[in-house]
Structure formats: C-alpha cells, structure tokens
Amino acid sequence: MKFLSAIILLTVAVAMADKDEDDWNFYKFQFGKKHSPKEEANRKRNFLARQRVMEKHNKENKDWQMGHNKFSDLSDDEKVSLLGAKPAIRRERLISREAAVPVLDRALPASIDYRTDKCMQPVKDQGQCGSCWSFATIVPLEFNSCNKTGTAVALSEQMLVDCDTGNGGCNGGMYDRAWQFIQAKGGVMKSSSYSYTSGSIGTAETCKFDSTAVGAKVASFGWVTPSLVPDPTAIMTNLQSNGPLPSGIKILDSFYSYASGVYSDPACIVDNKYDINHAVVIVGYGTTTATSTDPATPYWIVRNSWSNGWGLSGYFFMKRGVNMCNIESWAAFVKVV
Ligand SMILES: *[C@@H]1O[C@H](CO)[C@@H](O)[C@H](O)[C@H]1NC(C)=O
C-alpha cells in the first residue's frame, strides 16, 4: 500500500514537472523570450513562482484576473524599473493654482471612455526605464491639443526624459513638474522629431531640444484634489471638462499580472497618501452590471505605459470610490495653449 502511494506521488510529481516544463516552453514561445543558458534557471523559477500565484488568485478572486505577460519571468528588482513616480513632498508649492472643480456645462454621464477617441494616441511602452511620469505628462497634452486643433499629434516623452532636469529621467519624476518645465521651455516637441529610445537602454540621453519642432504648449495646470483628500466626483467632472487626467498609484506585486476585471486589493488602500510609485492616466469611468451573485462595481478606466500587450490592450479597470492605491488623491489636469 505504502509502495503504491509512493508510486502515485512520484507519477504526479513527474507529471507536474512535465507540465511546468511545457508551460515554460510555451510561455517563452508566446512572448518571444530568449535567455542565455546562464539566465534560464532563474527566469524559469520566476515564471513558475508567478504561475502558482496566478492559479491561486484566479481560483479565489472573482473581481479581477491575472494572466501571463512579458513580465512573468522578471525578478523583483527588474520590476521596479517599470515604475517611476516620485511625488514632491510639498506638492502645493510646485503647481499653479486654479479652481479645482470646473462648473459642469451638462450633466455628468453614467460613463466616459476616451480610449477610442480619435485624439487618443496608441498605448506606448516605457520599457526598462522609470519614465512613467513622462508618459502620464504627455497623454493629456496629446489629447487636449488634438481636441482643440482637430489634428492628432504624438508628442515626445524622450524630450522630457532627457531635458527636464527637475525630474529624474529613467529614475522617476512627476507630471506637475514636467508641465511646469514644458511651460518654461515654450513647448514639448513632436515625437516624430524626438522619438523614444530610453526603453531599451534604461537611461536618459543628451538633451536635443529643437524649438522649431514644438507640437504643443502648456497654458495652465492644477491638481483636481489640492489637499490630497480623495474626491471621485471632482475627478469625473474634470474628466468631462478637461479630458484624460494623470494620477499616481501604489503598485503591488500582483498588479504586474493584471489581465482583466476591476482591480482591487485591500492591501492597496493605505493611510499614507504619499505612498505612490507609478504614474498612469485616468481616461474614463463606468460601472459593471450587477448579476445575481455580484453587485455593480464602479470603476475607473486607466491607461498604463507598459505597451498594448499588457492588461486590457494597455489599459486596466480600478475600483472607483474607495481611493484604491491612492488613485483618487493624485489626479491633475492640464490645459493647452
Ligand atoms: C473637446 O472639444 C469639444 C468641441 O470643441 C468640446 O465641446 C469638448 O468639451 C472638448 N473636450 C474636452 C475633454 O476638452
């Protein structure tokens, strides 16, 4: 009997190892991963650890699902370079003041979704550079400039990474300081004249500012919630009047594997409002339809800068109304000239 159990156990273990090997090989194929023999063992270990977390999460959590993506085999150190929000400790000093909540010219709709707006550029990829802040700076400028002129425009994140010495290039920064920089510089260049290169090299390059290739200018900007007190309604109102709004969030490890659903995690509701490490852009909001088992859940539609291969074609939904990951404390708006 004992012998039989041992055989069964052994068979199961061998079958699991085979499955692990198959899953790993399929993953490498699916995401075009090529590792040196030296790297292979570590990468496989990271991948399998992630796979266990994912299987458990997807069994237990009905709100949102995890899935493999290009980050599944990364180490914790490597994941840190995918972030890059560095808020100023006393942010009020840095930003121009303006009435935070615009007066509505029409009723607040049940939902807003700018993802498919003709003024929205394709989702970009910051790569191995902590430049999320630069991407979050640019999205509302592209959108608002296009909405004003009627012509789509792609603007240069690289210019900010290279030239804005008030921010930290690939070591982090913040969109309020970047808008201030653009205002002082007389505009931000078009990406066609200054394309993004730091994603693969992981560092800033020499500044190559050229005022003749400026594509948008900053008129004014401000915080939606100047005192950091979360205000979902003010964010919804600003979305309607001022377009997409960058915000800062705290990233937990599980978030890297977000695949679909409305992201929430009790560990991401924190007392310290300054606890953020990633800049993203709120581009809309909505509410899930209630079912017999699940209540309706309000959510934000949020744009990330990890390519369109991550999450929901580059976007994610985050629970709305509970200041999840501090997202409702850091929204800011910008107006173009
Ligand atoms: C976009 O432009 C239209 C037409 O001028 C205007 O009504 C609308 O408020 C603008 N949207 C945003 C978000 O600025």
**How large is the average pLDDT for residues 106-111?**
87
Q: How many A from CA of 234 to the centre of ligand 1?
A: 17
pLDDT tens digits, one per residue of 273-330: 889 999 999 999 999 999 888 889 999 999 999 999 999 999 999 999 999 999 999 9
Does ligand 1 come within 6 angstroms of the Cβ of 147? yes
Does ligand 1 come within 6 angstroms of the Cβ of 87? no
pLDDT tens digits, one per residue of 136-174: 999 999 999 999 999 999 999 999 999 999 999 999 999
Q: Which pLDDT value is given to residue 93? A: 45
φ, ψ dihedrals at 278, nearest 5°: -145, 140
Q: For a ligand 1 pocket test, name from 147, 224, 238, 285 the mutation site with the most ligand atoms within 8 angstroms of its C-beta.
A: 147
* Active-site option among 304, 323, 325, 326: 304
* DSSP one-letter code for 100: S
Does ligand 1 come within 6 angstroms of the Cβ of 102? no
Residues 226 and 257 in one domain: yes
Residues 7 and 153 in one domain: no
Total number of domains in the chain: 2
CA-closest residue to ligand 1 atom 1: 147
CA-closest residue to ligand 1 atom 5: 148
Residues 201 and 108 in one domain: yes
CATH classification of the domain holding 87: 3.90.70.10
| DSSP labels, 164-214 | -TTS-TTB-B-HHHHHHHHHHHT-EEBTTTS---HHHH-S-------GGGE
Q: Is 35 a catalytic residue?
A: no
pTM reported for the whole predicted model = 0.91
**How large is the average pLDDT for residues 37-63?**
93
Residues 245 and 331 in one domain: yes
Q: Which pLDDT value is given to residue 262? A: 97
Please report whether residue 308 resides in a domain.
Answer: yes
Which atom, in ligand 1's list, is nearest to the CA of 243? 13
Residues 81 and 47 in one domain: no
Please report whether residue 66 resides in a domain.
Answer: no
Residues 116 and 217 in one domain: yes
Please report whether residue 246 resides in a domain.
Answer: yes
**pLDDT surpasses 80 at 126:** yes
Residues 36 and 82 in one domain: no
Distance, CA of 10 to CA of 16 (rounded, Å) = 10
Amino acid at residue number 52:
R
DSSP H stretches of helix in 114-156: 132-149
**pLDDT surpasses 50 at 99:** no
Residues 12 and 46 in one domain: yes
Residues 311 and 227 in one domain: yes
**How large is the average pLDDT for residues 130-135?**
96
Q: Which pLDDT value is given to residue 150? A: 96
pLDDT tens digits, one per residue of 75-93: 888 887 788 878 765 555 4
Please report whether residue 138 resides in a domain.
Answer: yes
Q: Is 325 a catalytic residue?
A: no
Q: Is 304 a catalytic residue?
A: yes
Distance, CA of 210 to CA of 205 (rounded, Å) = 15
Q: Which pLDDT value is given to residue 23? A: 93
Q: Which pLDDT value is given to residue 49? A: 95
Q: Which pLDDT value is given to residue 84? A: 80
What is the domain range of residue 39?
Answer: 2-60
Please report whether residue 84 resides in a domain.
Answer: yes
pLDDT tens digits, one per residue of 213-256: 999 999 999 999 888 889 999 999 999 999 999 999 999 999 99
Residues 220 and 299 in one domain: yes
Please report whether residue 25 resides in a domain.
Answer: yes
The closest alpha carbon to 191, from 162, 220, 223, belongs to 162
Q: Which pLDDT value is given to residue 98? A: 46
Residues 116 and 162 in one domain: yes
Q: How many A from CA of 233 to the centre of ligand 1?
A: 19
Distance, CA of 280 to CA of 328 (rounded, Å) = 12
Please report whether residue 244 resides in a domain.
Answer: yes
Residues 199 and 296 in one domain: yes
**How large is the average pLDDT for residues 11-32?**
85
Please report whether residue 321 resides in a domain.
Answer: yes
Q: How many A from CA of 230 to the centre of ligand 1?
A: 25
Please state, for a pLDDT cut of 70, what percent of the chain lies above it: 91
Distance, CA of 126 to CA of 136 (rounded, Å) = 11
CA-closest residue to ligand 1 atom 9: 241
